[in-house]
Amino acid sequence: MIFLLGGSGYVGSAYQTLLQRKGLPFRNLRRADFDYTDQAALTSLLRRERPAFLINAAGYTGKPNVDACELHKAECLFGNGVLPGRIAAACTDAGVPWGHVSSGCIYTGSRPDGTGFTETDTPNFTFRTDNCSFYSGTKALGEEVLAGRPDVYIWRLRIPFNEVDNPRNYLTKLIRYDTLLEAANSISQLEEFVAATFACWEKRVPFGTYNVTNPGEVTTREVVDLIKKSGVATKDFKFFPNEAEFMRTAAKTPRSNCTMTSAKLAATGIRMTEVHDAITQALRTWRKA
Ligand SMILES: NC(=O)C1=CN([C@@H]2O[C@H](COP(=O)(O)OP(=O)(O)OC[C@H]3O[C@@H](n4cnc5c(N)ncnc54)[C@H](OP(=O)(O)O)[C@@H]3O)[C@@H](O)[C@H]2O)C=CC1
Ligand SMILES: Cc1cn([C@H]2C[C@H](O)[C@@H](COP(=O)(O)OP(=O)(O)O[C@H]3O[C@@H](C)C(=O)[C@@H](O)[C@H]3O)O2)c(=O)[nH]c1=O
């Protein structure tokens, strides 16, 4: 039995689909039915039911985007900074190995030599570096809380996308935003992300932190070119002249735009599609939800 926390959310739903497709028994815990944020309650449930593995896809993201986290700081800090610590304590207590969905948005830019950040690079878009959104700061705290634990995977997801039109999908966002910010990013195809992360457990790769992004990096203009080429949208895409203008007119808090390498994951034998190919595939099979 696998326990899934936050399985009704955007990322959690993809885990549900994966586990159903694999025919694996799982239990989706929702706070409305069982308060898994209560550490004592979660510990006794885990001790009693003894799931083989737990996936934490719960957290606070802000909707429609991370700007909303600036207005709901307590919930955001609790969901991303405090809750992972409680789950960690409960899992260790009950002897349940687990995986935590983190975010690559704890970095900005790329390494000094232009390559993508690796798992050993210290996050540079955090409360410690004092340049981040509240959301990113709390996700970095969540990772700090889990650092060094021997029984957890920390999986870094980044700007998810797939072929289903949805306000949370990066491709939908670029199609719908009035004006776009030019940036280079490493991003994650959602179904590949959940499959790759679950494969970490199936293959029993060593616990620890993994960047789970499609290999390579892509600029906003490249994504727009792929969108236009696919025919999914043919509008005249507008771009901000610079990031200052984006911040002045469209955002309340800075965004993490960054490149990362998922070579550590690939070295375990878990492969993801090259990023331009993955975007092209999504656009080729584009559909309404
Ligand atoms: N979507 C994205 O762009 C990215 C998301 N992530 C991470 O993935 C995880 C899931 O995100 P996503 O699926 O998009 O988010 P959703 O808001 O769609 O779902 C998150 C779920 O978490 C549960 N939850 C538990 N505690 C809280 C809390 N304090 N505030 C809000 N929700 C809470 C809720 O489930 P319930 O009430 O049913 O228990 C909720 O449905 C988060 O940790 C996020 O940081 C990382 C990178 C990118
Ligand atoms: C608001 C806005 C954003 N953008 C760009 C900025 C950025 O590169 C990209 C995504 O920004 P958004 O504000 O839509 O999304 P944002 O909420 O920043 O997305 C993030 O959510 C959290 C949960 C994560 O963990 C991240 O991985 C990422 O998915 O779109 C525009 O081009 N135009 C706009 O008007």
What rounded mean pLDDT belongs to the chain? 98
Percent residues over pLDDT 90 in the chain:
99
**Residue 4, ligand 2, Cβ within 6 A:** no
CA of 229 to the centre of ligand 1 (A): 33
Q: What is the pLDDT of residues 246-285, one digit of tens each?
A: 999 999 999 999 999 999 999 999 999 999 999 999 999 9
Q: How confident is the model at residue 181 (pLDDT cuts 50, 70, 90)?
A: very high
Q: What is the pLDDT of residues 130-146, one digit of tens each?
A: 999 999 999 999 999 99
Domain 2-288: give its CATH code. 3.40.50.720
Distance CA 251, CA 243 (A): 10
Question: What integer pLDDT is reported at residue 213 of this predicted model?
Answer: 98
Q: What is the pLDDT of residues 184-230, one digit of tens each?
A: 999 999 999 999 999 999 999 999 999 999 999 999 999 999 999 99
Q: How confident is the model at residue 11 (pLDDT cuts 50, 70, 90)?
A: very high
For residue 193, give the amino acid letter.
F
pTM over 0.90: yes
Domain boundaries, the chain: 2-288
Q: Which atom of ligand 1 is nearest to the CA of 29?
A: 39
Q: Which residue, by CA, sits nearest to atom 28 of ligand 2?
A: 159
Q: Which residue, by CA, sits nearest to atom 17 of ligand 1?
A: 9
Starting from the CA of residue 139, give the closest ligand.
1
Q: How confident is the model at residue 289 (pLDDT cuts 50, 70, 90)?
A: confident
